[in-house]
Each structure stands twice: as structure tokens, then as C-alpha cells.
Structure 1
Amino acid sequence: MALSNTTHYSITDEEFSQFKTLLYDESGITLSEHKKTLLVSRLTKRLRKLELKSFTEYYNYVVHGVNGGEEFVQMLDLLSTNKTDFFREPKHFEFLAQTIMPELASQRKIRIWSSACSSGEEPYSIAITVCEAMGAKKWDCKILASDLSTRVLSHAANGIYEKDRVKDLDSARLHRFFLKGKKGDKVKAKKEIAQMVAFKRINLMNDDYPIKSGLDLIFCRNVMIYFDKETQERLVNNFYRYLKPNGYLFIGHSESLQWLDTPFLPVAPTIYQKKDVDEG
């Protein structure tokens, strides 16, 4: 018999501990005790839909079920905040245009990884920045955009956004880089920027990523706030390996590498560099 839409669920300390361990082991996310209510409220709808009677049943479904892997991603989607905007933290894009692009002008080649791209606003903002900075000159530019969530990756790859999502873009950018939908309520990223971005599901908790090293720039913004110090350190040092000498790492405005054991050197607020060993 289907469970009622008003079925009330509660979670025991033991059950919550199981989910905490699962999330940490699989995604690096640290779930603090005060998130217990949030977990219950956000997952209740899933339990009802799957007609499960308790969080223990749901845990077993995620860990041992035939569709457990897909359900884990669903769970992660519900527990994560996918808040993002076009040109969020604009100083990063200014640094890309005014510092990094001129540094690479002689080779006209740039490789960028948006490592937690969510619904795609970040990688498309990167593509717009690169297009504007390179002007009429032809560059070899490739942007990899990744996330753990297949749902947000699918949305990002479509490149379609509600008009409200681009309301802060100036009219020149909007006209150049986006197509307006027939009803006028949506826009779609034009080929000029869409063809620069490739989307891929990547779990940042894996030490070896299915990508080529030698990157010029990695964006990993507002992700480390979910991780403990040990996980942050491991992640940042993995990024270091994938950057070329003098490559850059951008992190979120509320994040810092100050207390982490990492060879990155700060060059601007929330901007770090892998210094060429020859430079000392």
C-alpha cells in the first residue's frame, strides 16, 4: 500500500550517523549535527516516493539497492545548495581577462577546469570572458566543466536559462552570447561559447581525475566550505598536480588556503598560483 503524503518521518542518532559517514566517504561533505532537521525535510519526499518507511530503509536502498548509485546522486542534489550566478565574484573574471590571458597571449592556448560547475553559469561566464579578451585573434581554448550531479550537468549542457538568471548581464553580452526563446522567457547559450565547454561527471574525492594535466586555471569556488581541513588539503594538492607551472587556482570568497599545508602561493584575494620551480 502506498504511503500517505502526510506520512511523518523522524531520524534516529544512529541513522543520522550512517548518512554522515556515507556522505563524507563518497563526496567529502561534512554534515554537522545541526543539519539533522534539514536532512529530514529534504529527503522526506524521496522516502514517500519510494514508499519507504524509515531512514534505515532509505539508507539500505542507497547503499545496497540496484539503483543505489543513481539515488545517491539524487540525495546529494537534495542536500546540496546549487546556488550560482553568471559572473559571480567578478574579480576572478577580471583577473582572467587582465592577467592570465595576456600571460598566455604568445601561445594563444588556454585550458581551464570549472571543477564544480553546478548548472553551468560559471563555465559559460569563463567562455564569455575568454571570447571578449581574445578579440579578433583566434585562440585554442578548451573549458572542462564538471560536477558530481548528473542532474545539474544535464541542465548545464543544455545551456538554457530562465530570463531572470541573466537579468544582471549587460545588453551587449546578452545579445552577443545568447539566443532569445520564442516566448521571450528563456535564453540559450550561443554556439560561440557553447562549443568551448565540455561537460563531464567527476567526483572530486577521487585522487586521480579522468582529465589531462597541464591546466592553466582551475575554478573550485564555494565547494571547500562543505569539507573538513583534511579533505580540503587533499583536494587542493590534487589540483596542484593538474596545473602547469605558473597555473592558477580560484576559490570562493569565503574560503582560504591559509591554514592548509599546500605549496600554492597567494597572488590576490582567493587567487593562488603554482609557482614555476625555476623561479624559486
Structure 2
Amino acid sequence: MIAITDEEFRQFSHFIKDRYGIHLRDEKKALLAGRLQQVLAEQRFGNFTEYYRHVVSDASGAATALLADKITTNHTFFMRESSHFQFLKDRVLPRLALTVRDRDLRIWSAGCSSGEEPYTLAFMLDELFGSGAPAWDTRVLATDISSQALATAVQGTYSDTSLESIPSAWRSAYFRKTSEGCSVVSDKIKSAVIFRKFNLMQPTFPFRRKFHVIFCRNVMIYFDERTKRDLVRKFYENTEPGGYLFIGHSESLEREGTGYKYVMPSVYRKDE
């Protein structure tokens, strides 16, 4: 195993924070070294300094994309923090169905990982709008910095055991069996989710229209306070008046430092 020096860790941690917002504390040194060992071995780098120089000088973007895949934690599952989905179903979506006059309902799953969250949102939207869905644009935007996670999401294949937490009616309506022990999301639902690679650390977001709902759950736990405040500000600027921001149950916003109003733990709303 190739050891990483304090200086090499400092270089990588600064680069990762500047590029992706992820704050690696000193105690993450061994974790970073472990996650990058395979890359160093496969690409025959003798030490982390050689690899770092390769990352910062690679104009193709392939090296930084691979680094993003290695350092991100893409752990999620269907119906994670299910109270959010219940609140969305009971309170948010019925209201939006009545108030969104142009029938263009914009929902963003930011940090979508392997796709369980945006697909769940798509199930809910299809269930709510039913036969009236064609009259609406309810496609969900789902973004992540990890190419590997997005590839898994686009494929939409999950183990049958991972589907046990979702209602049986959804399993019947929105999945089809493939190989033994696996099911794939239906084409109808796949077409309702737009997956894109997107870095939340961009100074400004390029969206032409604002969102009615933003999910960004268990992402900001990896950021320091300044990075988190900057991201929440950008979310706020890209939220429709009366729109909602959902964050992870272990996360919270500084109420004095944001225009969002507290609704319930991990749910916030922009004034109309």
C-alpha cells in the first residue's frame, strides 16, 4: 500500500474542497489513501504526488471525473427518510397541483446518487397526476458529480431486496423483473427523470426557470459552514416563491442566515 504524506493529503484535500466542496478533515487521511490505492496501482503512479500532478494537469477532465467517483459516498436506498415523501404527498404536491398555472412542475433531486430518490419522486408524481399526467410537465431533474453513480441510476436496475421498503403497488406498476433477484425501473418512469452530471460548487446555477421543490439530502454534511451557506443561497435563488427545500434529517440550516422559513425538521419553504 502506498502511503500518503501530510503534504500530499493537504494538496488533495484543498483541491477536493475547491472543486467539489467536500471538506476532508485530517482524520480522513487514511480513508482518502485507501480509496485511491486502486487508481495509483492501475495507472502505475509511484506516489500520491505523481497522481496529484496528473489530476491537476489533465485537460480532458477524465482524471477529475475518476477522482470524484472515488471520493464520493453514494449510499442511499428507496424511501430513505420516508417522512419527507409523506409530507410531499400530503401537503406539497396537492398544493402545487392547484397553484402551478402553467402545468410545468419543476423538481430537482440534487445529489441523486444511484437514482432511488428521483425515481421515488417520479412514482409519486405519476400516482398523483394519473391519466392527467400528459397535460403536465412533471419530469424530475436528477444531478450528481459522480459519473459512476449516474450510470447506475440511468440503468435503473436494483436488487429485489432493495425494493422491499416501497409499496407493493409501486413494485408492480413501475418495475419489471429482469434476471434472478433483480428488477428494472419501467421505461415510463425512466423517461420521467432527466439525469445530468452537475457540480453544486458552480458559482451560479445555469437554470432558466426556478424550482418548486429541491431535494438535497445528506450532501451538505460533507461541507464546511461557509460552503453550506453559499450553496443554500444558490438554492434559495433558484427556488420559486412558495417552493420547498428538503435536506437530510441530520442536517439543519442557520435560520438567521437564510431566507427559507422553517417548516419542520429538515424541511424549509421560501415565502411567496
Q: What residue ranges of structure 2 are gaps of 5+ in the alignment?
A: none
The aligned counterpart of 1:194 is: 190
Deviation at 1:241, TM superposition (A): 0.8
2:267 equivalent to 1:274: no
The aligned counterpart of 2:40 is: 47
The aligned counterpart of 2:112 is: 117
Q: In 2, Cα distance between the equivalents of 1:266 and 1:133? A: 26
The aligned counterpart of 2:30 is: 37
Query: What is the aligned-residue RMSD (CA, Å)?
Result: 1.5
Deviation at 1:81, TM superposition (A): 1.1
Contact 2:69–2:147 (Cα < 8 Å) also in 1: no
Q: Residue 207 of structure 1: SS of its match in structure 2?
A: coil
Instruction: Write the letter of the residue equivalent to 1:74.
Output: L
TM-score (norm 1): 0.91
The aligned counterpart of 1:18 is: 11
Structure 1 moving runs of 4+ over 6 Å = none
Q: What is the percent sequence identity of the aligned residues?
A: 42
Q: In 2, Cα distance between the equivalents of 1:160 and 1:119? A: 10
Deviation at 1:33, TM superposition (A): 0.2
The aligned counterpart of 1:98 is: 90
Change (3 A) 1:21 1:260: farther
The aligned counterpart of 1:64 is: 57
The aligned counterpart of 1:168 is: 165
Deviation at 1:111, TM superposition (A): 0.8
Q: Residue 117 of structure 2: SS of its match in structure 1?
A: helix
Q: Residue 105 of structure 2: SS of its match in structure 1?
A: strand
> When the two structures are aligned, how many residues end up with a matched partner?
267
Q: In 1, Cα distance between the equivalents of 2:151 and 2:208? A: 22
Q: Residue 15 of structure 2: SS of its match in structure 1?
A: helix
Which residue, 237, 250, 253 being the options, matches 2:249?
Answer: 253
The aligned counterpart of 1:178 is: 175
Q: What residue ranges of structure 1 are gaps of 5+ in the alignment?
A: 1-7
Instruction: Write the letter of the residue equivalent to 1:128.
Output: F
Q: Residue 253 of structure 1: SS of its match in structure 2?
A: coil
Instruction: Write the letter of the residue equivalent to 2:67.
Output: M
Instruction: Write the letter of the residue equivalent to 1:116.
Output: G
Change (3 A) 1:172 1:104: same
The aligned counterpart of 1:4 is: none
Instruction: Write the letter of the residue equivalent to 1:133.
Output: L
The aligned counterpart of 1:155 is: 152
Instruction: Write the letter of the residue equivalent to 1:45.
Output: Q
Q: In 2, Cα distance between the equivalents of 1:32 and 1:275? A: 36
Deviation at 1:140, TM superposition (A): 2.6
Q: In 2, Cα distance between the equivalents of 1:214 and 1:45? A: 41
CA deviation string 1:95-139 (max 9, x = no partner): 111111111223454110001101100100111111222244333
Q: In 1, Cα distance between the equivalents of 2:44 and 2:256? A: 44
The aligned counterpart of 2:126 is: 131
Q: In 1, Cα distance between the equivalents of 2:127 and 2:248? A: 23
Contact 2:107–2:140 (Cα < 8 Å) also in 1: yes
Change (3 A) 1:260 1:193: farther
Q: In 2, Cα distance between the equivalents of 1:119 and 1:87? A: 13
Contact 2:109–2:143 (Cα < 8 Å) also in 1: yes
Tell which deviates more after alignment, 259-268 or 248-257.
259-268
Contact 2:255–2:262 (Cα < 8 Å) also in 1: no
Deviation at 1:260, TM superposition (A): 6.1
The aligned counterpart of 1:229 is: 225
Deviation at 1:192, TM superposition (A): 2.6
Contact 1:20–1:31 (Cα < 8 Å) also in 2: yes
Instruction: Write the letter of the residue equivalent to 2:96.
Output: L
Tell which deviates more after alignment, 13-22 or 130-139.
130-139
Q: In 2, Cα distance between the equivalents of 1:52 and 1:164? A: 39
CA deviation string 1:31-73 (max 9, x = no partner): 0000011111111111010000000001001111354x22222
Q: In 2, Cα distance between the equivalents of 1:194 and 1:211? A: 22
